[in-house]
């Protein structure tokens, strides 16, 4: 009896479910004006649920659309950032090329004023130890560079060739204590020897205390040391110190060449003279 009732109950439940389903389905084929009480109950009950589901679906859809849009914007922003970096690098390259062009143009103009054969070179290394005021250039024996050749740029004297390899050479700067250049004061031809003091300056030695020297005087090469042609600019006097018991004055000189910023320079072959008029003073 129990088993029979269980089977009958299952059949009845299936029939009820099918009846409800068919009834709901039939609502699609009846005009709204003929909706009865049961239809209204079903519609009013299921309506809010369907609306909630629809709203939830729309909300999720909006979130997905916004996420996709944000992802797309993020990709575009990354691309734009990369583009900006690339353009900034191009601008920097153009500026560097422009500045280099100006330097080379000045060096070329200066070269045309030198009555001597020159070798153009680029600085490849500055001495970083601080022990010596030297630098290395990219010209050597293969380019006919030899020891003790004068090194200059459009601002004035840089130094002289210290030693040479096949493709490179080391330059001793005029600020090195081991450097010495036979020099004169352009204004009155007072002679002395310009020696290096430190990275920032030089001293003009062996000028007697009674000689006329003034701050701002231009110091040029005398051409009497067999290395530097006559008339090359060396520096300007920036300090004068006289000691009553000392035979010579102490004269501090500021080099005209910005030695720490050198990039291109000219090597002058020996046994060539340069007229004093090339200094432009």
Cβ atoms 281, 139 nearer than 8 A: no
The pLDDT value recorded for residue 172 is 94
Most confident of 61-75, 117-131, 248-262: 248-262
**9 or 202, higher pLDDT:** 202
Classify residue 55 by its DSSP letter: H
The pLDDT value recorded for residue 277 is 42
Cβ atoms 260, 126 nearer than 8 A: yes
Q: Which tokens hold the place of 38?
A: 């049961």
The pLDDT value recorded for residue 202 is 95
> pLDDT above 70 covers what percent of the chain?
63
Q: What is the CA radius of gyration of the chain?
A: 46
Q: Residue 109: in which H helix or E strand, if any?
A: helix 37-113
The pLDDT value recorded for residue 106 is 65
Query: Which residues does 278 contact at the CB level (< 8 Å), separation at least 6?
Result: 113, 114, 115, 231, 232
Distance of CA 122 to the CA centre of its chain: 19
The pLDDT value recorded for residue 185 is 94
Q: Residue 110: in which H helix or E strand, if any?
A: helix 37-113
Cβ atoms 191, 204 nearer than 8 A: no
| CA 152/CA 232 separation, integer angstroms | 8
Query: Which residues does 115 contact at the CB level (< 8 Å), separation at least 6?
Result: 272, 273, 274, 275, 278
**Residue 73 binned pLDDT confidence (cut-offs 50, 70, 90):** confident
| CA 185/CA 179 separation, integer angstroms | 18
For the residues 133-138, what does the mean pLDDT come to?
Answer: 91
The pLDDT value recorded for residue 192 is 94
DSSP states along 234-247: EEEEEEEE--TT-S
pLDDT at 25 over 90: no
**Average model confidence (pLDDT) for the chain?**
77
At 12, is the secondary structure helix, strand, or coil?
A: helix
202 CB-side CA count, 13 A: 32
The pLDDT value recorded for residue 158 is 94
Most confident of 8-17, 19-28, 221-230: 221-230
Q: Which sign, positive or negative, has the C-alpha torsion 98, 102, 107, 113?
A: positive
The pLDDT value recorded for residue 169 is 94
- Indicate the range of 29-38, 207-216, 217-226 predicted with least confidence: 29-38
For the residues 29-57, what does the mean pLDDT come to?
Answer: 56
**pLDDT tens, residue by residue, 244-273:** 888 899 999 999 998 888 888 989 987 544
The pLDDT value recorded for residue 205 is 94
The pLDDT value recorded for residue 272 is 43
**37 or 237, higher pLDDT:** 237
The pLDDT value recorded for residue 280 is 41
**Residue 276 binned pLDDT confidence (cut-offs 50, 70, 90):** very low
Q: Which tokens hold the place of 168?
A: 């490179």
């Amino acid at each position: 009896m129990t088993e029979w009732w269980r089977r009958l109950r299952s059949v009845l439940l299936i029939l009820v479910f099918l009846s409800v389903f068919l009834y709901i389905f039939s609502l699609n084929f009846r005009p709204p004006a003929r909706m009865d009480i049961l239809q209204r109950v079903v519609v009013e009950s299921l309506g809010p649920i369907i609306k909630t589901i629809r709203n939830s679906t729309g909300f999720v859809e909006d979130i997905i659309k916004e996420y996709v849009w944000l992802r797309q914007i993020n990709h575009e922003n990354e691309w734009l950032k990369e583009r900006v970096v690339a353009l900034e690098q191009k601008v920097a390259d153009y500026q560097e090329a422009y500045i280099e062009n100006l330097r080379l143009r000045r060096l070329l103009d200066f070269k045309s004023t030198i009555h001597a054969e020159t070798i153009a070179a680029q600085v490849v290394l500055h001495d970083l130890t601080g022990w010596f005021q030297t630098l290395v250039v990219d010209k050597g024996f293969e380019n006919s560079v030899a020891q003790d050749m004068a090194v200059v740029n459009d601002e004035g004297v840089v130094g002289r060739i210290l030693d040479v390899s096949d493709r490179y050479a080391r330059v001793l700067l005029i600020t090195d204590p081991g450097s010495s250049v036979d020099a004169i004061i352009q204004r009155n031809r007072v002679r002395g020897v310009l020696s290096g003091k430190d990275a920032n300056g030089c001293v003009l030695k062996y000028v007697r205390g009674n000689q006329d020297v003034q701050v701002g005087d231009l110091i040029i090469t005398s051409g009497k040391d067999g290395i530097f042609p006559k008339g090359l600019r060396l520096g300007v006097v920036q300090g004068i110190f006289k000691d009553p018991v000392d035979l010579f004055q102490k004269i501090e000189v500021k080099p005209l060449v910005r030695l720490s910023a050198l990039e291109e320079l000219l090597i002058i072959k020996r046994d060539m003279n340069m007229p004093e008029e090339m200094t432009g003073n």
